[in-house]
Structures are given as C-alpha cells and as structure tokens.
Structure 1
Amino acid sequence: MVTKDLSILFVASEVEGLIKSGGLADVAQALPKALLGLNQDVRIAMPAYSKIAGIEQATVVLSTTLEHWPHTEYQVRELSVVGVTVYAIECAQFFDRSEMYAENNVAYADNGARFSFFSAASLDMLPKLGFQPQIVHANDWHTGFIPFLLNHRYGEHAFYQGMKSVLSIHNAVFKGLFSYDEVQSLPEFHSYYVPDAAVSPSHVTMLKAGVMNASKINAVSPTYAQELTTELGSHGMGKYFSQRAHDLVGILNGCDYSSWNPTTDLSLPQTYKAEAKSMQEGKQACKRALQERAGLEVKDTAMYGMVCRLTNQKGIHYLLPILADFLKHDVQIVIVGTGDPSLASQLRVIASQFPHKFAFLEAYDNDLAHLVEAGSDFFLMPSEFEPCGLNQIYSMAYGTLPIVRAVGGLKDSVVDYDTNSDLATGFIFHEPEPYALLLVMQRSLLLYLQYPEEIERLKLFAMQQNFSWSTAAQEYLSLYYAALDA
C-alpha cells in the first residue's frame, strides 16, 4: 500500500458538487476525495463558470495575467468540495456563459480558445500561488494541452522541472478538434505546424496533444485501455494510443458510496441494507413509489429501469427496434433521460402505445435516478461503447441486476449469469445488435419468473460487491509514482 505523500493538481472541466454535466464530474470529486483520504496533498483546478452557485462570493486568491502571450487577465477564486481545495480560474470572456460547453446542442464557437486558455492558466497560476505539484493530472480533451505545455513551454523552466503529467481518458469520442486558427491563443501554434497535436494539415486535437505528451495515460477501465489501441475502440486514434501503449493503463472507476447507498439514501421512500428481508421489503417499497411516480400500475411485476443520455452511445438504437416486442411480456419499463430529440420522440410514441407498461420520463432528475436504481429489478445499459460506466455499479449497490453489453468498464465490472452463475451480478450480451439485446432481456425475465429465489440471491450478492474509490485511488498513486520514475 502506498503511503508516501504526493502533491497533485487535478485539472478537470467540471466537478460534482459545483457543476456537472456527466460522469467526469463524479470522478473529479470522488478521486481527489479518496486521495485526500490517503493523506495526499491534492487540489483541483477548474474553470470558474459564472453559473457555479456562490462563485462570486468565493475568495479571490490571485489576480494576474498570463506570463505568455496574449497575457490574458484572470483571477483565481478558492472554493472547497468534499474537503478538497478548488482553484476556480475566472475569466469573464471565456466562462461567463449560461452553459459550460454548448447552448441548444451547439458548441460554443470559441471552445478551442476557451480551453486552450484554461490549460495555460492552470499551469501559469502555480508559481504565483506557491503550489508546486509533483503530478498534474489532466482529464479528457479540455485539458489535453496541459501535458503539451509542460513539455513545450515549460520543459526548461526551473519551477516545473520534475513535474510530471497524467492524462485520464474518460471518453475518446470527444477529441477537442479545432483548426489552427481556433487555438491561436497559444503562440506554440502560430507556426501552423505542431506534429504531436495535428490530425490534418489544418486541424489539431487537444486529446492527441495530451496523449503524445503525457508522462502516463490511463483509461477508466482495463478493457477500455485495450479498446483504445484499436481504430474502432478509439474512434480513429488507435495509432496514437498504440504508440504510447507502454505508458497506457486501465483503472476502473470507483463508486462514491456516500452518494449511492440504499441504507442512507434520502431519495428513497424506504432505505434498506444488504440483508435478504431488508432488501426485499425496501425494494418493494421503492418499486411501488417508482410505479406511482411513472404513472404505471402498482403491481408485482418485473421492472426494467434505464437512466441515461439519449444517444446512440448508450445503446438506445439497440433498444428501440425490440422494445415493443419485449413489452408484449408481463413487464414494466421506466426510462429517464434527455438528449437526442429524435430518440426522445420515438420513445414517446412507444410509451403512448403501451401506457400501462412503459413510461418515458424526459428529465434530468437526480432523485428520480436514485428511485429508478432502487425500484427496478434490472437496469439496462446496452451501450455501443462505455469507457467505464457508473450506473452498473450503482445498480449493484441497490440490488438491481445490470443488463450490459460486453464493452469497456461494463465488461470489467459485471459477471454474466450464464458464464458464472455462482459469482454472477448481472447479464451480458456481446453482439451490437437489437436481437442480441432482446435475447438477454428475455433470459433475465425467464429467470425472474421461473426462479424468483435465485433472482433474490443474485440481487443480494450484487449488493455485497465493493467498488470503493479507495482501491482505485491506490492504483492511481501507483500510476503517479510510475510517472515520476519515467
């Protein structure tokens, strides 16, 4: 077990507890929290979005300009989340917006300049604040220029000597693709020739810049790390990940059980624990509450839940063609999510055809998400690709059996019933086809109807699994030490 203290700057574009759009924010809160619990000096850097509650009242600890051209003025406000110090980098021209990345599903036209500045300011502020981290941990494309700048801008600077970078890949489908003209706020790109960031004569990606320059790279699950070295699994960046394969590892995300715990969850009508009678009574109460909330008949039937962004990545296009066929069985399904208007429209049509069996709730509602996890018997995650996934882990914590495709972190965290019934925690299918999903859903329903005691055993066993962040944090510490030795 690693015990030596390190100093770490964790840089992310969003942090749960302050502002969130997806799973990156969960990790950006939970991993620093776990590292702090291991006595590491960890601090977070993020943009000071104007929509962060209370940001204007936060103490200004630095007012300065970038040392390098274009010498942009900025401030740093100090916040705290789960006991971790947060440096929020404030620059009105870039972060005084109504949203983080886009409005009405249209990305801000200056995102290249915005996050180029953020990467530059995250490093520029360090000597001015008197904080000299040994590790700068960047996350996804928004921070991809941080490893690049450490190498190209600060490689010979005394303050940054020995400072190493780690880049976490949460989802490589988002690369931060921009023309050279869109990143002219970094003078390193004025030559219009930067091979370790370029993907064409006219465009660069922030993600490639990070991948080619980071001391170490990690994917958020072991299987996703393997997938990234393929063209399909990396969304076209396989050759770059393959070049860095010796520095690429997979670390499965943990679960923040302080937020996702059925024994303490205030979103539930009745809490319960990993004990047969408690679990059965608690889940029955939650199922009734979910049925009432969704406008479905209150009855004892197999409940399938799904909470996700409405995108093809989440496998909605596998579910839609077979949904009506599955609803011919004595089942109920509740889907909660927002996203692609076309997918939402198709779900609304099916819901109108099966009003007593299927409810589509077009919402982003955290309390409702918790109720779906607790009130369902099965949780659907038929993802096209899934770097890690968290809902399958949340599901197990709530005694709800995940139904997943064998990709990324889903494959790494769920044990299939047909493969190993003794250690099973859910159901897995492989082929990216609607019919394969229908078959596995029917498998789960057959077991539910024919062997109810076996289903209860599986639920209880799933609740007993532990994906704590303390374990993942130890793996990250090992990665940090490997980076320092590189």
Structure 2
Amino acid sequence: MASEVEGLVKTGGLADVARALPRYLAQQGHDVRIILPFYKGLKRRDEARLLASRWLPTPAGQEDIGYRLHQLELDGFPVYLIDCPRYFERAELYAEHNQAYGDNGERFAFLAAAALHATEQLGFAPDIVHCNDWHTGLLPLLLKTRHASNPFFAQTRSVISIHNAAFQGVFDRVQFATVPEISHYEQRVAYDYGHINLLKCGVLYADKINAVSPNYANELLTHLGAHGMASAFQQRAADLCGILNGCDYQDWDPATDPHLPANYDAQDLSGKARCRAQLQQDAGLPVVSDPIYGMVCRLTEQKGVHLLIPALEDFLRHRVQVVIVGSGDPSLAAQLQAIAQRHPDRFAFINTYDDRLAHLVEAGADIFLMPSLFEPCGLNQMYSLAYGTLPLVRAVGGLKDTVVDWDQGDDEATGFCFMDPTAHGLLDAMRRSLLYFLQDTDRFALIQRRAMQTRFDWPDSVEQYVQMYRDALAR
C-alpha cells in the first residue's frame, strides 16, 4: 500500500520503490497486489476497470463514505485503485502551490480504512500489508484495533517502511472523526495538544518496521536523526531493521537507456562524451571540456541546497560547469536562478523535474552532487554510480552505505564523501574532487569503471524483505 507508484503517479523516490519491490517479489512467485488512490492525474486512468462500488461504514451519527474500486495491471500484477472524488479528484497528490491540502489527515485516514475494507470485499486476505510512510501509517493501528477480532484478518500482519521520517503526517484530531479508534489510543500516537501523528501510528502498531538503509535505521534510534520520534523508534528497536533499497537497473542502465543520445558501458565510455555535449546544449552552456557537476533533486533544505548556494559562488570561480535540475522551494529556486544569471557560461538551473533531463544529467556529468542533511536511502547516488558519474555525498543514511570515499584506496573507492554539514565543508569536498579529476585522470577513469560495476540489486534486497515478512508472520 502506497500513496504513489512509478509508472502511474510519482513525486519522488517512494514511487520507484513502490513499483520495483512488488515487481521483484512477484518474480519470485509471491502473490502481490498494490492498493493506491485513484488520483485525478493518474496515468492510464482510462484503462482502469470498475470492480465494485461500496460504502465504508463510519461511526453512528455520521454518513458512510461511498467509494468505487477499480483495477489496473502493472508488471503483471493487479493494482487496486480507491476512487473517492471528494478526497482524490484534485490537481495534485498532496499540495498545490507549495501549500499542503488542509484535509490531508482525513484523506489518508480514509485511504487506510478503505484499503482494509476493500481487501475484505475482494475476499483477498493478505499475509502481509506492507505500508509506506505516514500516508499509510494508520493502517497498522486499524488492524490491531478495529479488525483485532475480525477472523478475516486473523493471520494478517503489517510492516511499514520509513522512507523519510521527517514527514510524519501530523494533523488535528478533528480530522479523524471517522476513526473513533484514535481517541482510545491518543496518548500513544498524539503529538502536542490533540494532534495525531500518523507515522507514529505505523511505528507503534506495525509488526515490523523497516528503514530503507542500515545506517538510517541506526540514525532513527538517535535524537539527532529521528526528527523528534526517537523514543518511539527506541520502543520498537527489536522490530526495527534496515534494508537498503535496490536500484532498478532496467530503467537506469547507460547501455540501454533510451533517453540518451549515445549509450555506453564500463568497457567503452566513449558514448559519455556525446551525452556530455548534449547536456551542455540542453542546459544552454558552452560545449567545452571543463568538468561538469550535476544535481537532480527536490529543492529543499533536506537535500542540502541551502549549503550549495553559498558554496556555488566560490566554486564557480574555477573552470567548471554546474547543472542543477529540480523544483520545489520558491526561495531556493530564486536564489539559484540569480546565480545562473550572474554566471551564464558556468551554471545552469532548470526549474523543473523532467525524466529525460534527469537521465541526461546522470550520463553527461562527471560528478554528481548530493550534499543532503539527511538521506534515508537515496537512489540518485546509485544511478550515478551506474552511469560512471562519481557521486559526491554527505556521509549520512544510505549515502554512507553506498558510496566509498576516494581516499579509501584504489580497491574500494567509488566517489567522494564529506561529513561537515556546512557550505564550507561542501566547498572543500567539491574542490578536492576537482583537484583529483584534473590531476589524476587515470585513477578517475579507474574509479569510474569500478563505480559502474557496483551493483545494489533488488533481488538481494527482496531476500531480506521476505525474511522480515516471515519474522512478522511468526509474531
């Protein structure tokens, strides 16, 4: 169960995982179904076939909520779509004009309740309901309360994956009028004066909790890394594990990538030069031999954009080019745009998210920037490794689990790491990488090839997920 799935609707990396993990589970013979909201902007919406129209029961004195259940096929398995126009017939998924919908708590509380109701209507009693982030956090609580005595779910267990604990889904309790169970457990899941924390619902009531990298699981047990939820994670430490997301190399392989003007692999990197020239042309930069630093991200403080902005002014004094593709915080976007206007030959900022451009940056850049304040797993550093574009990362979360610093030696290095969460710390790392790029070209090429041969395959992660599911079922 997820709020977005790549190929149907996507705003971030959660969608990639919510498609890839089910795909690889299904390839191993597991019976997998996805439940997703029937958003207005859903791709392939016209292909969905109606399965049923139902009413979700609500407490006495309130009107039951009508919904329809549709089905699509994705990668050979069914996707069930919860259709309720009052909640999901909107221009965007969670927010418009950088402003979250005021009833998001009510919307996703309905989704959790309707998902279990729909599953029962279909006669499909799952062994595991795999929830993802705060949008689905209420479901484990409902299984342990509303459905605790329901024989249909007697063997069902729940797990929740934490893709980003900074987003917890905190809403005024008045949004949960249709979920009376909340009032009985409010002290456990409350957040400050009658607000309910949906992520905490999932963490406290799921049978198992997964953080999307081993290092991030450790960080969630600390007050510095848990975004105010350290005590909840510490209570459940015995049921917390960290499974690194896999990389979907079907979509991210420079040898077959249809978005690129030329393909290449670790044995022959010549096509990378054509990708580089195409990136420069598309970004409006001169086609020169200066090293290119690329970045594709949401414009948020989490991604370290506020560290990069002051570092850029100093870094652009060198003979380099920087290309940033991303959208988000208007203030950060305005600052990047101003820098681009001052340095039109060295810096390009493209204020959008474009899948083709994202692939082109990964292929055309020499070094990829990820100076994140925190990063539960991260996927772009894995894509960068696959494309021979050495990642420069802050050594936190999944970035620390997947990138080995240049100074670790020829047998292990795959990129560049730094720790100090300041503009100065980032600038030092960028200058260090530039020095190595210019002065040690043979070693740079060697590490490029090692990076391209580094693999974080989903089948390896799926084995760990299946073991987690079995551990949950044994509870």
Provide TM-score, normalisation by structure 1: 0.95
- 1:238 equivalent in structure 2: 230
- 1:187 equivalent in structure 2: 180
Q: Is the 8 A contact 1:112 1:176 kept in 2?
A: yes
- 1:8 equivalent in structure 2: none
- 1:369 equivalent in structure 2: 358
Tell me how far apart the structure 2 counterparts of residues 87 and 316 of structure 1 sit (CA, whole Å).
Answer: 37
1:68 Cα deviation from its structure 2 partner: 4.3
1:416 and 2:405 are equivalent in the alignment: yes
The one-character-per-residue Cα deviations of 1:43-90 (angstroms, maximum 9, x if unpaired) are 100101121133244111121111443531111100122222100011
Q: Is the 8 A contact 2:294 2:362 kept in 1?
A: yes
The one-character-per-residue Cα deviations of 1:321-356 (angstroms, maximum 9, x if unpaired) are 111111111111101111111111111111112111
Letter paired with 2:223: E
- 2:114 equivalent in structure 1: 121
Q: Is the 8 A contact 1:101 1:111 kept in 2?
A: yes
Tell me how far apart the structure 2 counterparts of residues 60 and 32 of structure 1 sit (CA, whole Å).
Answer: 22
Sequence identity (%): 53
Tell me how far apart the structure 2 counterparts of residues 40 and 162 of structure 1 sit (CA, whole Å).
Answer: 17
- 1:475 equivalent in structure 2: 464
- 2:8 equivalent in structure 1: 18
Tell me how far apart the structure 1 counterparts of residues 327 and 101 of structure 2 sit (CA, whole Å).
Answer: 20
The one-character-per-residue Cα deviations of 1:410-462 (angstroms, maximum 9, x if unpaired) are 00000111123321110000111111111111111111111111111111110
The 5 Å alignment of 1:308-319 reads 308-319=297-308
- 1:49 equivalent in structure 2: 39
The one-character-per-residue Cα deviations of 1:223-254 (angstroms, maximum 9, x if unpaired) are 11111111221110000000000000001111
- Between the two proteins, the alignment pairs up a number of residues equal to 472
Letter paired with 2:48: A
Letter paired with 1:445: L
| Aligned residue among 19, 24, 30 for 2:20 | 30
The one-character-per-residue Cα deviations of 1:345-377 (angstroms, maximum 9, x if unpaired) are 111111112111111111111100100000011
| Aligned residue among 144, 151, 161 for 2:137 | 144
Tell me how far apart the structure 2 counterparts of residues 138 and 438 of structure 1 sit (CA, whole Å).
Answer: 39
* Long gaps (5+) in structure 1: 1-10
1:193 Cα deviation from its structure 2 partner: 5.5
Tell me how far apart the structure 2 counterparts of residues 475 and 192 of structure 1 sit (CA, whole Å).
Answer: 35
Q: Is the 8 A contact 1:180 1:192 kept in 2?
A: no
Tell me how far apart the structure 2 counterparts of residues 54 and 43 of structure 1 sit (CA, whole Å).
Answer: 17
| Aligned residue among 85, 93, 106 for 1:100 | 93
Q: Is the 8 A contact 2:163 2:376 kept in 1?
A: yes
1:215 and 2:204 are equivalent in the alignment: no
Tell me how far apart the structure 2 counterparts of residues 91 and 31 of structure 1 sit (CA, whole Å).
Answer: 26
Q: Secondary structure of 1:41's partner?
A: coil
Tell me how far apart the structure 2 counterparts of residues 78 and 484 of structure 1 sit (CA, whole Å).
Answer: 27
Provide TM-score, normalisation by structure 2: 0.98
Q: Is the 8 A contact 2:6 2:19 kept in 1?
A: yes
The 5 Å alignment of 1:317-466 reads 317-466=306-455
- 1:3 equivalent in structure 2: none
Letter paired with 2:199: L
Tell me how far apart the structure 2 counterparts of residues 211 and 331 of structure 1 sit (CA, whole Å).
Answer: 45
Tell me how far apart the structure 2 counterparts of residues 368 and 56 of structure 1 sit (CA, whole Å).
Answer: 28
1:184 Cα deviation from its structure 2 partner: 1.0
The one-character-per-residue Cα deviations of 1:88-127 (angstroms, maximum 9, x if unpaired) are 0111111111111111111111111110000001111112
Tell me how far apart the structure 2 counterparts of residues 388 and 356 of structure 1 sit (CA, whole Å).
Answer: 33
Over the aligned positions, Cα root-mean-square deviation in angstroms equals 1.1
Tell me how far apart the structure 2 counterparts of residues 33 and 286 of structure 1 sit (CA, whole Å).
Answer: 30
Tell me how far apart the structure 2 counterparts of residues 178 and 170 of structure 1 sit (CA, whole Å).
Answer: 20
- 1:5 equivalent in structure 2: none
Tell me how far apart the structure 2 counterparts of residues 34 and 467 of structure 1 sit (CA, whole Å).
Answer: 13
* Long gaps (5+) in structure 2: none
Tell me how far apart the structure 1 counterparts of residues 223 and 171 of structure 2 sit (CA, whole Å).
Answer: 20
| Aligned residue among 153, 172, 175 for 2:165 | 172
Q: Secondary structure of 1:50's partner?
A: coil
